[in-house]
Amino acid sequence: MDRTFVMVKPDGVQRGLVGEIVSRFEAKGLKLVGAKLELLPEERVVEQYREHLEKPFFPGLKAYIMSGPCFLMAWEGKGVAAVVRRMVGATNPAEAEPGSIRGDFALDIGRNVIHASDSPESAARELGIHFAPGELVDYSRIDEPVLYE
């Protein structure tokens, strides 16, 4: 089954939004297959955001992500990377749809609460950066037989 990487950023952790965010993905029918609270080392922040290394906002982005613990998750489900990106909403919370996480809980592009991998390829790469294979677990949700046709 498809998996993706999702991370509540330090502002989301400090604002007590972890439970609300986990609840939304659980209610959607996605399965949590890995999770940990962690202060990220610089190498993993650089690796995760390597496409943005040369952008003017990168130093601020790196400082923001390292300013406190992040809540890292692996979620599983059909088409999960695209599903989660829609639930997360646009990068700039001012443009994110109400009902999305950024649309409901954030205002500033530099404090947008959550990260989610932007494709299945990014998901595989980012899960590899942040989780050892043994940290991701296999189990069944009790409602799987009625969640999928």
Contacts with Mg ion: how many residues (CB under 5 A)?
A: 1
Give bridge partners of residue 111 from the DSSP assignment.
108
110: partner contacted, choices ligand GTP, Mg ion, none (Cβ within 5-8 A by kind): ligand GTP
61 binds, among ligand GTP, Mg ion, none (CB under 5 to 8 A by kind): ligand GTP
Of 13-21, 27-35, 114-122, 137-145, which part binds ligand GTP (CB under 6 A)? 114-122
* Burial class (CB within 10 angstroms; exposed 0-12, middle 13-18, buried 19+) of 118: middle
Query: 52 an active-site residue?
Result: no
β-strands 70-76, 3-8: how paired?
A: antiparallel
Instruction: Give the one entry of Mg ion, ligand GTP, none that residue 30 binds, where binding means its C-beta sits below a cut-off of 5 to 8 angstroms depending on kind.
Output: none
Measured torsion, CA atoms of residues 73, 91, 27, 13, in degrees rounded to the nearest 10: 50
The residue among 16 and 59 lying less far from ligand GTP, judged by its C-beta, is: 59
Burial pattern 13-52, b for ≥16 Cβ within 10 A else e, equals: beeebbeebbebbeeebbbbbbbeeeebeeebbbebbeee
* Binding of ligand GTP by 13 (CB under 6 A): no
Annotated binding-site ranges: 9, 57, 85, 91, 102, 112
Which residues form the interface with Mg ion (CB under 5 A)? 118
Which residues form the interface with ligand GTP (CB under 6 A)? 52, 57, 60-61, 91, 109-110, 112, 115-116, 118
